[in-house]
Every structure is written in structure tokens, then in C-alpha cells.
Amino acid sequence: MDREKLMDTLIPQAWEAAKNAYVPYSGFRVGAALLTKSGVVYPGCNIENSAYGPSNCAERTAVFSAVARGEREFAAIAVVGKFADGTPAGGDGFAYPCGVCRQVLAEFCSPEDFLVLLENAQGERKALTLGELLPYGFVLRD
Ligand code: THU
């Protein structure tokens, strides 16, 4: 599937997942839709906690749900986010995966081939490889 079609498929599912975000502290809703190489999509949303530290990002929710189902091979993830009142994220408005989520993705996903698909609150889209997002990522063993 080409990048445009992948975005058309996964980005609406990521926005749908964002509706389940539990964000009483930040108010920033993030949704993810993780596609396995076999064609299954796992949703994820951010889940915050009153102690802050235990909060979980949408991307990791999706990866951990998928891995808990026995999945290990992934093709792409769509990630979207905005504040509950519609305000976009800072910078250029894309909800880029945080450093921790990039490292978690790198555990299972190829830096050359795995695609991170983004849409901001203004409807602009962007596709990046994992390697573009996490250059020189830590690798313990090949
Ligand atoms: N968040 C994500 O879900 N994914 C990221 O990659 C970055 C940040 C969440 C964490 C927190 O619930 C909210 O966004 C504000 O930081």
C-alpha cells in the first residue's frame, strides 16, 4: 500500500482512538493506530495518572496491546493529537512520538521501512520513517 492510502486508512482510526484518551491532567488527547505486517490494526490512546509518572502514551498503549496479543511485526503507525478544545500541539502542530515511544518502536520496527504517519489539527499530513525520527537509535544486538 502506498503512503497516501496508508494515511487514508490509519489516520481516521487514530483520531477515533484519541476519543478514548484519559487525559484529566493535560487535556491533550493522543490517538494511535498501529498496523501489523499481517494487516491487523491496534488502537492506542494516552492514559494519564494522578502521579504523572505512570502515564502512558498512545503509541506505547498500541504497541503493548499488540505485543500482548502475540504480534511482533509492524508496518506503520498513525499518531494524532490535539487538546480537547481543538487547540493543536505546539511547534508545527504535529503530535510527534516522544523519545521514549521512539525507542519502544525501535525495539520491534525497522528504521528503514516502518512508517510514522502524522496529521495535525489543521489537517496537514506527514510521513516519516522510524529512522528519520530516531537516527542513531540504541541497538543492543543485531
Ligand atoms: N503523549 C502521547 O500520548 N504520545 C507522545 O508521544 C507524546 C505525549 C501524551 C502524554 C500525555 O498524556 C500528553 O500527551 C501530554 O504530554
Q: Is residue 22 part of a domain?
A: yes
Q: Is residue 103 part of a domain?
A: yes
Domain that holds residue 122: 3-133
Tally of residues, the chain: 142
Count of domains forming the chain: 1
Task: Identify whether 112 is a catalytic site residue.
Answer: no
Q: Is residue 69 part of a domain?
A: yes
Q: What is the per-residue pLDDT across 68-77, written as a single tens digit (0 to 9) for each?
A: 999 999 999 9
Question: Which residue owns the Cα nearest ligand 1 atom 13?
Answer: 28
Q: Is residue 86 part of a domain?
A: yes
Q: Is residue 85 part of a domain?
A: yes
Q: Is residue 140 part of a domain?
A: no
Q: Which residue out of 59, 107, 119, 124 is catalytically annotated?
A: 59
Q: Is the CB of 63 under 6 A from ligand 1?
A: no
Q: Is residue 138 part of a domain?
A: no
Tell me the C-alpha to C-alpha distance, in Å, between residue 39 and each of 7, 50, 75, 92, 119: 14, 36, 9, 30, 21
Q: Is residue 47 part of a domain?
A: yes
Of ligand 1's atoms, which has the minimum distance to the CA of residue 47?
A: 12
Q: What is the CATH number of the domain that holds 19?
A: 3.40.140.10
pLDDT (tens, 9 = 90+) of the chain, 142 residues, equals: 799 999 999 999 999 999 999 999 999 999 999 999 999 999 999 999 999 999 999 999 999 999 999 999 999 999 999 999 999 999 999 999 999 999 999 999 999 999 999 999 999 999 999 999 999 999 888 8
Q: What is the per-residue pLDDT across 3-32, written as a single tens digit (0 to 9) for each?
A: 999 999 999 999 999 999 999 999 999 999
136-141, Cβ contacts within 8 angstroms, sequence gap of 24 or more: 137/102, 137/103, 137/106, 137/111, 138/103, 138/106, 139/106
